[in-house]
Amino acid sequence: MSEFRTEVDSMGEVLVPAHAYYSAQTQRAVENFPISGWPLPVPLIRAMGRVKLACATANNALGKLTGTGKNPLTVEQVRAMCEACQDVIDGKMDNQFPVDVFQTGSGTSSNMNINEVISNRAIEILGGDRLSKVKPIHPNDHVNMGQSTNDTFPTAIHVATACEIHHRLIPQLQRLHASFAEKAKAWDKIIKIGRTHLMDATPLRLGQEFGAFARQIELSIERAKVAAKAVYELPVGGTAVGSGINTHPEFGRRVSEALAEQTKIPFVEAADHFEANAQRDGLVESHGQIKTIAMSLFNIANNIRWLGSGPRCGFFEVILPDRQPGSSIMPGKVNPVMCESMMQLTARVIGNDSTMTLCGASGGNFQLNIMMPVMGHAMLESIHLLSNGVSAFIEFCMDGLEANPQACEASVEQSLSMVTSLNPYIGYEKAAKLTKEAFASGKTIRELCIEQNILDPQELTKALDPFSMTEPQG
């Protein structure tokens, strides 16, 4: 058998790989966009399958597929088309979507890709010849009925985004929050020195420091929920420019309801289809929340990296798990590789936010944004990186992270900021003078206070109690 077959579209003949489920329009896009080698993200492909299934369900309920219009389908053909959509959703057709991310800005090439795949797969399910030039289940007339790329492709991006946030990102953040909360509780009695401006500050407890990390992740979970909510409105039903030409007035609502039922996520029809077709503000807002989560994770990983520095010439207040040799020249050196991995992937996410912002601001001209494929790619890449990165950070860093109480407590007494608790007793000016004297002499604040009889011993012990400095004193 030949390596290729000849397919025909409105522009003429084109050679398509012999066994491919896609047809001419997909192949033209493959040839036109040999750019990155990045196909659409798998979650987006499967979300497109969900959208097509919801559209078929709505059109069937409205009597459009089996009605009296041009080339009506039989009940069996509708069933086969829905089964083909389900094959896409289930990942059985993942290798049939070769179009590069950097394609036509509306995503038309990818929309026709899935229309062709579903059409040919449905014909095959019915026992027909999917390679035939005659298409009893037509990619445009049936699979794309009542739709335009301009409303269904952004709908698929919204669906993929919300699903990935709910099913992947939020569960991983919840795991990370539990890990930090557990460490905060376990390490609540370990006193250490605080640091502001990278300089010694007043004491706090290691549990309080990790409790702050836990709170950052708790807030990140809330931000992830906001990120999902920002894409609940779906453009489907607006067709080409938002007017809904060539579709039923109930179509958008029915498709949105079907998608909500499929995913158990509260998707709704867009309040204004002209806005929903033309602008991707919801996606930009959503990624802004994702960017903030990335920023928090970068900050936490960097703090843990610093806290684990050493083991002899750094802080070494926490002991990071040994994951791999850290140097090709220094034997025995071990580095904070999981922290560094997290910092790099979050940097990528923060960079993706610039892409999202530019695409949202300048791509939405008049009735259509023409930067959608790269927006979908950037959004889903960010969620993928954060989800996988958090999972690896928990398993390979947090699960084995240990406190080093000796290192934490060793520096507390040496800190010049211990003098802060003496302010109510001797005043700021005298305390500052005492600090300078302690630094110059190499003595601790406590030693100088005893030498100079600043306070009676009992009062001094109370004033310089490190644990009491970690909480408000009335």
Residue 369's DSSP bridge partners are 364
327 catalytic? Reply is yes
Residue 335, token pair as written in the block = 């580095």
Residue 387, token pair as written in the block = 């989800």
Distance of CA 402 to the CA centre of its chain: 28
What gap in Å lies between CA 247 and CA 65, rounded to an integer? 12
Give the dihedral of Cα atoms 64, 67, 68, 70; nearest 10 deg. 50
273 catalytic? Reply is no
Catalytic residue among 36, 327, 354, 362: 327
Distance of CA 36 to the CA centre of its chain: 22
What are the catalytic residues? 197, 327
